[in-house]
Amino acid sequence: MGKVSIIGAGNVGGTVAAAVAHFNIASDVVLIDIKEGVAEGKAIDMMQSAQHYQFNSRVKGYTNDYSAVAESDVIVITSGIPRKPGMTREELIGVNAGIVKSVMDNCMKYAPEAYFIIVSNPMDTMTYLAVKNSKLPKNRVFGMGGALDSSRFVYYLREELGCAASDINAMVIGGHGDTTMIPLISKATYKAQPVCELLSKEKQEEIVKATMVGGATLTKYLGTSAWYAPGASVAAMVKSILLDEKKVFPTCTYLEGEYGQNDICIGVPAVIGKGGVEKIIDINLNEEEKALFAASAEAVNKTNNVLREMKLV
């Protein structure tokens, strides 16, 4: 069993730690936060649930002690701030870029062989920043977004079809944003049957739209970003690495010609195993999907240009 470290003990980071512990796939789970006592308290709380969840992982929390990540197999970065009233997107990118770069630098001092999963927003651009600044091989630094968006896609499909989530195969590619993600309704299946044969065109469009604003819908209800599904999505990716499951996840990964794109991190299906992103899967997109993916990449590149203009990459 390996070691997993999560940087940022907020709602998402704490849920990642708990989910990894519940999966019982890591001998050690480390939680680090900038705020005194938060990681320590959450770690103790999780450990006091071990008897009921029957896990053997040791969860420990630390305040800004990056030496605790030493020998980590996987490091998850959730650090960053949400956009505040009056803050421009450029300002948000600048602040979070500084945070993610600092976290990566500190982690690499103690765990240079780790695999990094980026969750911090804007996720595609923060993943790009992490890849560029760390100079690590692209298979070792990737983002979570598509795995979460796909889980939301599955949710809306199962609600309409009235079936188990495990009976649905559905995927979201492209950027991790309300206007940049691409739910591949044409590829979605229920027990191997195309859902396009089961749902009207209007219902398909409704589900696609609901998926694309899935995060915003929850923020409206909760007053903040969601955490259960993001945490579970990250933990599933961690599990695939530690157990070498070689599962396919829509993953924000660095492209070098795949899907007609270069020098960008964006969501595409990839095999995740003990080698991190082991293979990018080339799926056959129709003409509409190809156009949507190109537009999504263009939007992500515009955000990446903010990093370039600020000379952060």
* Candidate list 176, 227, 280, 285, residue with the active-site label: 176
* Two tokens, residue 299: 């939007």
> For residue 305, what is the enclosing H or E element?
helix 287-309
**Is 52 one of the annotated active-site residues of the chain?**
no
Cβ count within 10 A of residue 281: 14
CA distance 214 to 147: 13
Q: Which residues of 254-278 are buried (b: 16+ CB within 10 A; e: fewer)?
A: bbeebbebeebbbbbbbbbbeebbe
Q: How far is the CA of 259 from the CAs of 143, 187, 300, in angstroms?
A: 17, 17, 14
Residue 155, amino acid = Y
Do residues 131 and 108 make contact, with C-beta atoms less than 8 angstroms apart? no
Instruction: Find, among 3, 70, 71, 69, the residue nearest to 39 by Cα.
Output: 69
The whole-angstrom distance between residue 158's C-alpha and the CA centroid of its chain comes to 22
Is 269 within 8 Å of 249 (Cβ atoms)?
Answer: yes
User: Which residue pairs, CB below 8 angstroms and at least 24 apart, start in 274-283?
Assistant: 274/241, 274/242, 274/244, 275/139, 276/115, 276/139, 276/140, 276/142, 276/241, 277/138, 277/139, 277/142, 277/251, 277/253, 278/139, 278/246, 280/253, 280/255, 281/248, 282/258, 283/184, 283/187
Q: Which residues are catalytic?
A: 176
